Amino acid sequence: MAPVLRLENVTKRYGGTVAVDGVSFTAEPGRLVGLLGPNGAGKTSTIRMVTAITTPDTGRVTLGGETVGPATQRRMGYLPEERGLYRKLRVGEQLVYLARLKGMTKTDAVAAVKRWLDRFDASAWWGRRTEELSKGMQQKVQFVATVVHEPDLVVLDEPFSGLDPINADVLEAVIGDLRAAGRTVVFASHRMESVEALCDDVVMMAKGRVVLAGPLREVKRRYGRDTVSVAWSGPDAWLDALVGPTGDGADSTANGSAEASAAASGVRVLRRSAGQATLRLDAGTPPRRVLDAALAGADDVDRFDVHEPPLDEIFRLAVGEA
Amino acid sequence: MSPTALIAQSEYVRRVRSPWFIATTLLTPALAVAVFAIPFLTVSLGGGDAPQTVAILDGTGALADSVAAALPASYTAHETGAELGALREAVLAGQLGGYLVLAPGVLDGTAQARYFSRGSGLEEMAVLGEAVREAVRDERVRRAGASPAVVALLDARVGLEQVSVSEDGDAADGALVQLLVANVLAFLIYIAVLLYGAMVMRGVIEEKSNRIVEVIASSVRPFELLMGKVLGIGAVGLTQLVGWGVLMAAGAAALGPLLLALAPAAAIPAAGAAAGAAAGAADLPIDPAALSAAFAPGLLAAFVAYFCGGYLLFAAVFAAIGSAVDQESDAQTLQVPVMLPIVVPMLFLPAVLSQPDTPLSVFLSLFPVSSPVLMVVRMSVTDVPAWQVAASLALLAGAFVGMIWVAARVYRVGILMTGKKATFADLWRWVRTA
């Protein structure tokens, strides 16, 4: 079983700015931990301390009880947000080099790189220059570089950014395998919905602090089943009437009106697009008020669902509480 | 294999097998040989002396014939009685190369000889000047009543042969060869430091702009990456220098006799032009014994040591600069403080060459920033005490340790900084806080 990653009251300053402020959390083996927060929340600064690229000003980062450093680096794989490879090097040589920097012998590295390229149907790329590959192919190569030395801890910073749907599926499957194999996976993203589908635990950061942390199911349950999603056909005037005069009927972007309406009616729009909306109910507002309005105003109601709030809404609430 | 060795090996292999490396290794000696060989060949193959017609307006009435006789065969000189205006017209019309005016005062030293032409090269002026001087001297001697025997004695040339004394034995004709060798070695170190230092800087910038550096930094310490890169590229430089040395030696062995056969000794011009002061006195072909004496094993060992020391000293700084910028064009201003200490010692090269044992020369050859170039220069032209070489190398090593310490602190912060262009104030802050 892979060791536990633990951050204890970790702080990092750059000049006068506190990038990470007293952050503590734990990542368990066999679980996928989502490190969430908007850009500038301190995710990358935190990750750089976990990967021992930088050291905390105060506090401690440990992997299996050992303070992170050159020794633990060999047991980690890191996929940075800003992807990069040596453009002129051939794929095989590049991956073998990166694996050897992680302490593998040349023979082991060659075998492992071949195995991983096979797994990605990419054996034919061995002798090709990296710069000749498409962006998606380069991302696969980079992912192989992250996991080729079979690390105990895998740290992925925005792993899905820029991936096409097919490669995203492949990556998701591999991440699932890593988790099944008992590895510890930390996965940073500002795109909450991608995390929601994958993570076991979440750590939410804002302005350098952890605002909320815990198992995803528990966190969601804590915020209650007070959200409804509704899909309908026909006119949408009923929704404008429901949310009141502040509702912006012309807005059809996915999440543009999220903060738009503080509803007198006890209903707020989280997401809205043509014929679909996700609504948050204030305390005491029964879900059927939305259903009644939809049935009365729309031609037909295709779907109606009561559920927990989406992560981005939970994040907003958590920041508000913090 | 340690991370530093692994990185150095990768950096080395990647560069040495590149077409750029192979091309520069092969072509540079060819270029160097061409630079030396072309002046030889153009002169000896008859490109040099165009026939020149010179009219002599002799106010002394005694010099015209002897000047004409003293001029080389390519000059056709005749005495003329024409008006100055007419001569001038003839020059402008291209009928006459030029005209020499010898005022009566030339003989007693109260006037100068003057030569009028469309413009004359250095060589033409030297030839004419020599002819006039010879004629005037002969005439003065004759008027003083000296016998032809005395004139003949005056004409007899007196040479000064320079013999270098060293523990390894005495070598004749050493001075010119030593100057040549000193210049070549100094320029090689100078160029190598710039070339390979800039290569380190480009490598750092490439890793940073590629973002691969973050992956590497999650595997090895920044200091290991820095040292691996510096050492790997240093080995590239050493390989290239050795390659050049071997190719040049082979080329000299193959081409030397050919050039000598083509170029009669008298026709060889100032091939040592690179040797500056020595140019006029060039007494080539070089005595092979003097050449091999100039490339004494001790000097070659010192050359390699100072190349390595100089390169290491500055490569670390180049790496630090590379780490502070996102792209090469941003590096210009930051490069100034590293370029100055590389360039400035070159300005002292002539002074050290001509007076290698003054306190200034000794100081410059001990001071770590200037010692890589100037100690090698001193060692080529004079016998430097062993303690000075040892002290100079020790100071250089100390300076390198200090420099890499500072550079590493800048580097480990710089490689992770993107977006903002760093200033000197930033770099200083990184050194203090990193």
Q: Per-block average pLDDT, block size 10, for chain A (322 residues)?
A: 86 87 92 89 92 91 91 91 87 94 94 92 90 87 92 91 83 90 90 82 92 89 86 86 61 42 68 88 84 87 88 83 68
Helices (H), B367-385: 371-381
- Give the pLDDT mean for B333-355: 84
Determine which of B205, B216, B219, B427 to mutate to test the interface with A (most A C-beta atoms within 10 Å): B219
pLDDT at residue B334 tops 60: yes
Give the pLDDT confidence score for residue A108 in this predicted structure.
Answer: 95
Give the pLDDT confidence score for residue A256 in this predicted structure.
Answer: 41
Distances (CA, A) of B202 to A320, B205, B210, B296, B330: 47, 5, 12, 35, 12
Beta-strand relationship, A76-79 and A66-67: unpaired
Rounded to two decimals, the pTM is: 0.75
- Residue A153 forms beta bridges with which residues? A76, A184
Phi, psi of A110 (to 5 degrees): -60, -45
The model's confidence at residue B172, banded by pLDDT at 50, 70 and 90, is low
Nearest to B218 among A73, A82, A83 (CB): A73
The model's confidence at residue B162, banded by pLDDT at 50, 70 and 90, is low
Q: Report the SS3 class of residue A155.
A: strand
How long, in residues, is chain A?
322
Question: Looking at chain A, which residue has its C-alpha nearest residue B222?
Answer: A53
Give the pLDDT confidence score for residue B294 in this predicted structure.
Answer: 64
- Cβ distance of B211 and A51 shorter than 8 Å: no
Nearest to B214 among A52, A80, A97 (CB): A80
- Give the pLDDT mean for B357-371: 89
Chain A residues 67-126 with CB within 8 Å of chain B: 70, 73-74, 76, 78, 80, 82-89, 97-98, 100-102
Mean pLDDT, rounded, of chain B: 80
- Cβ distance of B212 and A51 shorter than 8 Å: no
Bigger pLDDT: B275 vs A243: A243
Give the pLDDT confidence score for residue A263 in this predicted structure.
Answer: 44
Determine which of A53, A89, A102, A148 to mutate to test the interface with B (most B C-beta atoms within 10 Å): A53
Residue A19 sits at the chain B interface (C-beta within 8 Å): no
- The Cα of A53 is separated from the nearest Cα of chain B by a number of Å equal to 5
- State the CB neighbour count (10 A cutoff) for residue A234: 13
Distances (CA, A) of A191 to A260, B41, B103, B145: 20, 73, 97, 110
Nearest to A101 among B207, B210, B216 (CB): B216
- State the CB neighbour count (10 A cutoff) for residue A57: 14
Residues of A in contact with B220 (CB under 8 A): 70, 73, 101
- The Cα of B222 is separated from the nearest Cα of chain A by a number of Å equal to 8
- What is the rounded distance in angstroms from the CA atom of residue B206 to the CA atom of residue B212? 9
CB crowding A80-114: b at 16 or more within 10 Å, else e: bbebbbbeebbbbbbbbbbbbbbbbeeebbbebbb
Q: Interface of chain B against chain A, CB under 8 Å?
A: 1, 3, 6-7, 10, 14, 207, 210-221, 416, 418, 429
- Give the pLDDT mean for B88-109: 85
Residue pLDDT, tens place only, A173-225: 889 999 999 999 999 988 887 778 888 999 999 999 999 899 988 888 888 88
Give the pLDDT confidence score for residue A191 in this predicted structure.
Answer: 81
- What is the rounded distance in angstroms from the CA atom of residue B342 to the CA atom of residue B6? 30
Residues of B in contact with A54 (CB under 8 A): 416
pLDDT at residue B88 tops 80: yes
Size of interface A-B (CB pairs under 8 A): 59
Nearest to B215 among A70, A74, A98 (CB): A98
Give the pLDDT confidence score for residue B40 in this predicted structure.
Answer: 64
Question: Looking at chain A, which residue has its C-alpha nearest residue B207?
Answer: A86
Residues of B in contact with A85 (CB under 8 A): 210, 212
- What is the rounded distance in angstroms from the CA atom of residue A317 to the CA atom of residue A211? 10
- What is the rounded distance in angstroms from the CA atom of residue B324 to the CA atom of residue B307? 26
The model's confidence at residue B291, banded by pLDDT at 50, 70 and 90, is low
Spatial contact of B363 and B245, defined as CB atoms under 8 Å apart: no
Cα dihedral sign for A56, A58, A63, A66? positive
The model's confidence at residue B262, banded by pLDDT at 50, 70 and 90, is low
Nearest to A80 among B1, B211, B221 (CB): B211
Determine which of B18, B208, B214 to mutate to test the interface with A (most A C-beta atoms within 10 Å): B214
- What is the rounded distance in angstroms from the CA atom of residue B247 to the CA atom of residue B332? 34
Residue pLDDT, tens place only, B11-57: 999 999 999 899 988 888 788 777 766 766 666 665 445 667 888 88
- The Cα of A104 is separated from the nearest Cα of chain B by a number of Å equal to 10
Question: Looking at chain A, which residue has its C-alpha nearest residue B209?
Answer: A84
What's the ipTM?
A: 0.80
Phi, psi of B161 (to 5 degrees): -95, 130
- What is the rounded distance in angstroms from the CA atom of residue B281 to the CA atom of residue B272? 9
Q: Which two tokens stand for residue B51?
A: 């026939």
- Give the pLDDT mean for B222-244: 92
Question: Looking at chain A, which residue has its C-alpha nearest residue B9?
Answer: A97
